[in-house]
């Protein structure tokens, strides 16, 4: 096959959490403006996806691949998965979908080595799950003779069983898991379902090597707003000693591990000399939490942190950007080297999760 026909790939198709379409759209438009792409968005409330239509850009007139390649997926907050595609859905014959898909791929000139089938994370979308599982092996067999390009992944998003958007993304600049959804099983002994948020955060923000080197048995952590102990449980499972800060009660079984010290005090006035990790999942205003976390780093009370920011009902993307600015301004005023990532994880709800890794010794 020839090089992709980028003039036809005029759309960035983005999956998001239902209800956060406006935030996803604002984020995409922010990057479009910053990278000097002329574009507009199509977003429907509670659909679980957003379309960014590019009408002009820095490389070619309508090149969604150029847009995607200008932005690292790890920067994105509300976007679970994305790919470049034509802006119009393809109509698939119910009894011969593969023929239309094969022809579309040929017309687009795209090559790939993997296939991801997706659908909206809504009740209607989830009804397509069984269909996609059954159709994927059949499609792979039909496309097994296509020219291979290991870095590329063919993406097909089904609106229903006969209408789909067909496009492409790069494996190293997209979600590592299908649809950006990390599937985790609720541990039977964990005190609350919030434990899944910290587990997902650790596997999302830290590579396997980082998990082995930055989270070691015997390290010490502080959990602000810990009760009943969902996040503390994750740390204890990794054999960390935890100081749990909360006026509420902690899970009795968790306390019996003798790995947890429970202090009934205010998280905003508590101080600590130094720990390896700070975690926090308090129901508090996001700017208050950001200032608190910034204080912990500037005073060098912690080396690394994972925390959640509960978002307002409106202007959530703007609220996150303000919190990022607060954190960066505080850290940039020191000699601390750090990395900062923000993501709305699958197990998050009206919130985002932040991870800061630093060089503090």
Return d(Cα 317, Cα 325) in angstroms, integer: 12
Q: Please name the residues in contact with 75: beta carbons below 8 A apart, sequence gap of 6 or more.
A: none
CB environment 118-152: b (16+ within 10 A), e (fewer): bbbbeeebeebeeebeebeeebeeeeeebeebeeb
CB 303 within 8 A of CB 360: yes
CB 23 within 8 A of CB 43: no
Residue 229 has phi, psi (to 5 degrees) of 125, 20
Give the active site residue among 42, 310, 315, 324: 310
- Residue length, the chain? 361
Q: Strand pairing of 260-263 and 275-280?
A: unpaired
Is residue 216 part of the annotated active site? The answer reads no
From the CB of residue 1, how many other CB atoms can be counted at a distance below 10 Å?
A: 14
| Helices vs strands, H then E, count in the chain | 11, 15
From the CB of residue 290, how many other CB atoms can be counted at a distance below 10 Å?
A: 23
Report which of 105, 104, 108, 43 is spatially closest to residue 78, judged by C-alpha positions. 43
DSSP assignment, residue 201? H
Q: Which residues carry out catalysis?
A: 310
């Amino acid at each position: 096959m020839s090089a992709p026909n980028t003039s036809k790939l005029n759309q960035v198709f983005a999956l998001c959490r239902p209800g956060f379409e406006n935030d996803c759209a604002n984020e995409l438009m922010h990057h479009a403006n910053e990278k000097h792409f002329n574009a507009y968005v199509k977003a429907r409330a509670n659909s679980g996806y957003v379309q960014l239509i590019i009408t002009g850009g820095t490389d070619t007139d309508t090149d969604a691949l150029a847009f995607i390649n200008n932005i690292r997926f790890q920067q994105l907050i509300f976007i679970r998965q994305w790919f470049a595609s034509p802006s119009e859905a393809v109509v698939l014959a119910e009894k011969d979908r593969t023929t239309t898909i094969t022809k579309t791929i040929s017309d687009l000139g795209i090559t790939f080595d993997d296939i991801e089938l997706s659908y909206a994370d809504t009740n209607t979308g989830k009804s397509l799950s069984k269909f996609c599982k059954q159709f994927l092996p059949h499609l792979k067999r039909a496309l097994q003779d296509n020219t291979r390009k290991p870095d590329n992944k063919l993406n097909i998003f089904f609106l229903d069983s006969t209408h789909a958007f067909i496009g492409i993304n790069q494996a190293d600049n997209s979600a590592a898991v299908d649809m950006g959804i990390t599937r985790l099983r609720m541990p039977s002994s964990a005190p609350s379902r919030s434990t899944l948020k910290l587990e997902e955060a650790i596997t999302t923000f830290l590579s396997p090597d980082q998990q082995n080197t930055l989270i070691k048995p015997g390290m010490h952590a502080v959990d602000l707003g810990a009760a009943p102990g969902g996040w503390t449980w994750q740390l204890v499972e990794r054999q960390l000693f935890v100081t749990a800060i909360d006026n509420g009660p902690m899970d009795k079984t968790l306390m019996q591990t003798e790995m947890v010290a429970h202090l009934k005090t205010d998280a905003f006035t508590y101080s600590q000399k130094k720990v390896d990790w700070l975690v926090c999942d308090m129901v508090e205003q996001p700017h208050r939490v950001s200032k608190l976390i910034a204080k912990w780093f500037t005073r060098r009370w912690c080396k690394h942190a994972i925390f959640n920011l509960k978002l307002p009902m409106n202007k959530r993307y703007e609220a996150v950007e303000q919190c990022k600015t607060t954190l960066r301004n505080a850290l940039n005023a020191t000699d601390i080297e750090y990395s900062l990532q923000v993501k709305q994880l699958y197990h998050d709800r009206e919130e985002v999760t932040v991870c800061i890794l630093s060089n503090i010794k």
